[in-house]
Amino acid sequence: MCEPIKNRYEFVILFDVENGNPNGDPDAGNMPRIDPETGLGLVTDVCLKRKIRNYVETVKEDTEGYRIYIKEKVPLNRSDNEAYAALNVTEKTIKDKKKSDENLDIKIRDWMCSKFYDIRTFGAVMTTFVKANLNCGQVRGPVQLSFAQSVEPIVPQEVTITRVAITTEADAESKNNTMGRKYIIPYGLYRCEGYVSANLARKTTGFSEEDLELLWEAILNMFEHDHAAARGKMAVRELIVFKHDSELGCAPAWKLFDTVHVTRTQTDTDTPARSYADYTVTVDEAALPSGVTCQRMG
């Protein structure tokens, strides 16, 4: 495996949606997630991680060391079993193996990290065989994301649609079409903040420089192979990366995030924003602490 990263990072993702639903809330009829107190839109970290996983799976196609652990219609147990098979461990022999090898749990964890990119990156709970004492442990990943939040309040719109697809023969006799609805946001710019821990990469998962470069690539392109009518037009507009010159970092993350300012370009802020050009993004690099550098991608 490659050497783990040696520098701590923080990053800010700016992405937007036009005439789409970036992350529906199943508890609210799939309406776009929203903070009821502020009216700001929300996109969960789980949603964004899913898109990063999907991109890596698309470009790597299960290349050795870049498989995805959490994927659709693939039981976690199937992947966990691979680790036990590789280390010649079974349900019947696990207890005796642990007595003779006190590092067995670490070996199982390291095998999973070496094979699955998303475990190396985000971590995973792999205790799917607790009753049988067959589990691959829990891994805290070095890369963590916050919920994304819109820069300004959003106004979800309910759009009524008609469909001509008839489900049953009885429906075909009684009606020609049916009514439906979908939720959209005319426009919204979202901001997500993230963290990369070199300390956890070294101690736990082995997250490497190659993995980091793939992460940046996946973030910048996470919507490019994920287009759907329901999500409208979504795009990552900019990725702002702060790099520390040490493993543990040189400044609190919040100080770095506070240097990123997103403001309206036009003076008339009563007019709703309808494009990324309606905003100006600046980074106060003069305020960055010593030992921290900034790179803007997008």
* DSSP string computed for 71-139: -TT--HHHHHHHHHHHTT--TTTHHHHHHH-TTHHHHHHHHHHHHBHHHHHHEEE----TTTT----EE
Q: In this prediction, what percent of the chain has a pLDDT beyond 90?
A: 69
Provide the whole-model pTM.
0.92
Looking at residue 79, what is its pLDDT?
85
Q: How confident is the model at residue 116 (pLDDT cuts 50, 70, 90)?
A: very high
Looking at residue 53, what is its pLDDT?
97
> What is the C-alpha separation between 291 and 60, in angstroms, rounded?
34
Looking at residue 20, what is its pLDDT?
96
Looking at residue 76, what is its pLDDT?
84
Looking at residue 130, what is its pLDDT?
47
* DSSP string computed for 138-157: EEE-SEEEPPEEEEEE---E
CA-based max dimension of the chain: 74
User: How far is C-alpha 173 from the chain's CA centre?
Assistant: 46
Positive/negative CA dihedral, 18, 24, 29, 35: negative
Q: Does position 192 have pLDDT exceeding 90, yes or no?
A: yes
- Side-chain half-sphere exposure of 227, counting CA atoms within 13 A: 7
> What is the C-alpha separation between 267 and 107, in angstroms, rounded?
59
Mean pLDDT value of segment 272-293 = 96
Q: Does position 238 have pLDDT exceeding 70, yes or no?
A: yes
DSSP class of residue 270? T
Looking at residue 177, what is its pLDDT?
65
Q: What angle do CA 75, 77, 78 make, to 5 degrees?
A: 75
> What is the C-alpha separation between 45 and 281, in angstroms, rounded?
22
H/E segment holding residue 189: strand 178-196
Taking all residues of the chain, what is their mean pLDDT, rounded to a whole number? 91
Looking at residue 131, what is its pLDDT?
47
Q: What digits encode the pLDDT tens for the residues 57-105?
A: 999 998 999 999 999 888 888 888 888 889 888 877 877 888 888 888 8
> What is the C-alpha separation between 21 and 156, in angstroms, rounded?
9
Looking at residue 168, what is its pLDDT?
76
> What is the C-alpha separation between 168 and 46, in angstroms, rounded?
36
Q: What digits encode the pLDDT tens for the residues 28-44?
A: 989 999 999 999 999 99
> Mean pLDDT lowest for which of 25-39, 114-128, 162-176, 201-215?
162-176
Label residue 96 exposed, middle or buried (CB < 10 Å: 0-12, 13-18, 19+). exposed
> What is the C-alpha separation between 44 and 147, in angstroms, rounded?
5
> Mean pLDDT lowest for which of 60-69, 178-187, 205-214?
178-187
> Mean pLDDT lowest for which of 76-80, 155-159, 215-219, 253-257?
76-80
The answer for residues whose C-beta is within 8 angstroms of residue 49's C-beta and 6 or more apart is 118, 122, 145
> What is the C-alpha separation between 145 and 198, in angstroms, rounded?
15
> Mean pLDDT lowest for which of 70-79, 121-130, 142-151, 166-175?
166-175
Q: Does position 156 have pLDDT exceeding 50, yes or no?
A: yes
Q: In this prediction, what percent of the chain has a pLDDT beyond 70?
A: 94
Q: Is 232 left (phi over 0), alpha (psi -120 to 50) or beta?
A: left
- Give which of 56, 80, 84 is closest to 68, Cα–Cα: 56
φ, ψ (nearest 5 deg) of residue 58: -70, -45
The answer for residues whose C-beta is within 8 angstroms of residue 97's C-beta and 6 or more apart is 89, 104
